[in-house]
Amino acid sequence: MDKKIASLQRNITKKNLVVLVSSILLIASLVTAVSVGANPLRDEGTGTTAEGISGEELTLTSVSPVINYQGRLLRDEQPVDGVETIIFRLYDAQYGGVRYWEENAGSVTVNNGLFAHALGSITTLPIQSFDRELWLETQVGSVILPRQRLAGAAYALSLVPGGKITGTETNTAALTVENTATSGTALSAVSASNAPAIKATNNAGGPVIAGYGLGGDSKFEVSNNGDIIYDGALQGAFPRPAYDSGWISINKNQDKELFHWLGGSIDSYVVDLTFWDDDAEIAKHGYNGYGLGAFRRPGELYGSGAFWHKLTPQSIVVKRKAEDDWVDKFRVRIWVIK
């Protein structure tokens, strides 16, 4: 191929060799794209077709991580027959920019002007870089043709930020994420603002979100009414109390009323009362449980300790006994459960 190679066919102004690059469809960041006439379930390594595989059973390993590429070569406005050397490159800009990938397809057979090549079949595609706009550069012989922007297929647009996956599945999930490795994470979401990183809605009777461990023996579910159901221990977190008084000083023989205004039924309340002792010479404890509920010792007419009582949907009262030596401060926390 000489230096008289023209540009893309749409810009034909002279005779000699021209190239028409067509049908590049990129399926989001999964890089499972297909071109016109290609079979998306065809394994390029074995040449076999994955017939009979249903949508919910098809995994990424069923589809080769390649992009099927088709083009047409003309010389003197006539289709080329023979062998041409073709190199492909991916950049992050139409001009200049950073080159992320290069593949030398070597000697490519051209039949009646048509040729095809599976991008990534020789040099692995940089899948991690497909989260940005990329431009494909094609070099035929010594001539570098204008770059083309990779465009997403219509269905792939549901996977871009702001996209939405909607289905009418009754016996399976609208979206399933599975990690078959022995370590790692199946799904990770990060949000840098107050907006949710993941938002899920289920109008059916099943859970909004469900997670199952290896073998399905562990589970985590968020139901339609907001209930969280899980097997195993809840590690690294504890529900925040609906009311937290903080540390409050209290005198001997004093009743101190606190207003929480939680409302509802007190049958749904879980109350935690914690004490603090300021006297290092007597108790040397700081946090302590001495006197929880109040008690008496011989010779203590009025008893020691402290306790809570008079719980209502609006307030709670903490009482410190007259002879108490341990409850210098207290803290009340209340959780509300269904």
Residue 267 structural domain? 243-336
> Taking the complete model, does pTM exceed 0.75, yes or no?
no
Q: What is the domain-level CATH number for residue 328? A: 2.60.40.10
Where among 97, 123, 155 does a domain terminate? Answer: 155
Is residue 60 pLDDT above 70, yes or no? no
Count of domains forming the chain: 2
Q: Provide the CATH number for the domain around residue 31.
A: 2.60.40.1930
User: Cα(254)–Cα(189) distance, rounded to whole angstroms?
Assistant: 50
Q: Are residues 129 and 21 in the same domain?
A: yes
Q: Tell me which of 104, 134, 155 is where a domain ends.
A: 155
Strand spans (E) along 145-283? 148-149, 151-152, 209-212, 219-222, 228-230, 243-244, 248-249, 255-259, 269-276
Q: Confirm whether 174 is domain-assigned.
A: no
Q: What angle do CA 105, 108, 113 make, to 5 degrees?
A: 135
Domain C-terminal end among 155, 182, 210: 155
Average of pLDDT values for 214-230? 72
Residue type (1 letter), 36: V
Verify that 247 and 120 share a domain, yes or no. Answer: no
HSE toward the beta carbon, residue 333, CA cutoff 13 A: 10
What pLDDT is attached to residue 214?
A: 62
Average the pLDDT over each of 42-56, 143-157, 162-176, 223-237 and give the range with the smallest value: 42-56
Whether 197 maps to a domain, the answer reads no
In which band, very low, low, confident or very high, does the pLDDT at 173 lie, cut at 50, 70 and 90? confident
- Residue 115 within any structural domain of the chain: yes
Q: What is the DSSP string of 94-124?
A: SSS--EEEEEEEEEEEEBTTEEEEEETSSS-
Average pLDDT (311-327) is 90
In a domain, 128, yes or no: yes
Annotate 274-285 with b (16+ C-beta within 10 A) or e (fewer). Answer: ebbbeeeeebee
What is the DSSP annotation of 126-140? -GGGTTS--EEEEEE
Q: Phi first, then psi: give them for residue 86, nearest 5 degrees.
A: -130, 135
Question: What is the three-class DSSP state of 142?
Answer: coil
Angle among Cα 161, 164, 166 to the nearest 5 degrees reads 160
Strand partners for 308: 318
The residue type found at 45 is G
Residue 166 maps to a domain: no
Q: For residues 286 and 66, what is the distance between their CA atoms, to the nearest angstrom?
A: 65
Q: Would residue 287 count as lying in a domain?
A: yes
